[in-house]
Amino acid sequence: MTQNDLDWVELVRLDERNSRQARSLLYHSYRNEPTFRYLLNAERPGYRQRIRATIRELIFLHFERGETVFGVLDKASQRLLGVVFVSDVGLKMDISRQLRWRLKMTLTAGFEATRRFINYYNDVQNSLPDKHHRLVSLIGIHPDFQKRGLGRMLMEAVHDLTEQDHESIGLFLDTGNTRYLSFYESLGYRSFAELPLGELTETVLFRPNPNYAEQAA
């Protein structure tokens, strides 16, 4: 895939005005993902409502915190085709203390789904080092536009952002879907930790920042 093959799209920074499109895109991206199916108990009635509510509240929290969100737009239609949400400062945020988030999640996704999600999120956070870093928390490409280089474009934008920060040790992400591992490995990620998640194994991946000040010293 060459840069010319992607001339029909543009990479942009998104804000809360794009939240509706982002919610729809991430719903289609995550509804069949093993991690979300486990966390939100896909076998119980109402799974679609629970996943929509979870994505809506996560997106709201990201925009409320002013964190970085990149999107890929179709130049002609301005349709959002891909999105990535990044935690900028590597804060070990305990979402169980985000009272508004927890209340909204409990009311819309239910107590059990909220409990599972909080435990999962905090387990991932607690597996990460105390040093300054960034974290990809949500990423999705519309199913009709996958395997066309858009995911790589988004990730390279996040890599550029991370590498400009010489205080950051690098970038973390996690996935419970093994079919994505080879893609992330091709981008320079390596396994950092493995976390049990029901019958799944959630893999935490790390891409070191080559410009990290202490490493370069």
Give the domain CATH number at 21. Answer: 3.40.630.30
Give the H/E segment covering residue 44. Answer: none
What is the reported pTM? 0.91
90, 134 Cβ separation under 8 angstroms = yes
115 is written with which tokens? 């409990």
Q: How many domains does the chain have?
A: 1
Can you give the pLDDT at residue 93? 62
Residue 90: what pLDDT?
46
Residues counted in the chain:
217
Structure tokens at 201: 């194994």
- In eight-state DSSP terms, residue 142 is -
- Residues 64, 104 contacting (CB under 8 angstroms): no
SS3 53: helix
Q: Which residues in the chain land under pLDDT 70? A: 1-4, 89-94, 96, 215-217
DSSP notation for 19-43: HHHHHHHHHHHHTT-HHHHHHTTTT
Rounded to whole angstroms, how far apart are CA atoms 79 and 72?
8
Q: What distance in Å separates the CA atoms of residue 191 and residue 141, rounded to the nearest whole number?
A: 23
Full residue range of the structural domain in which residue 97 is found: 3-216
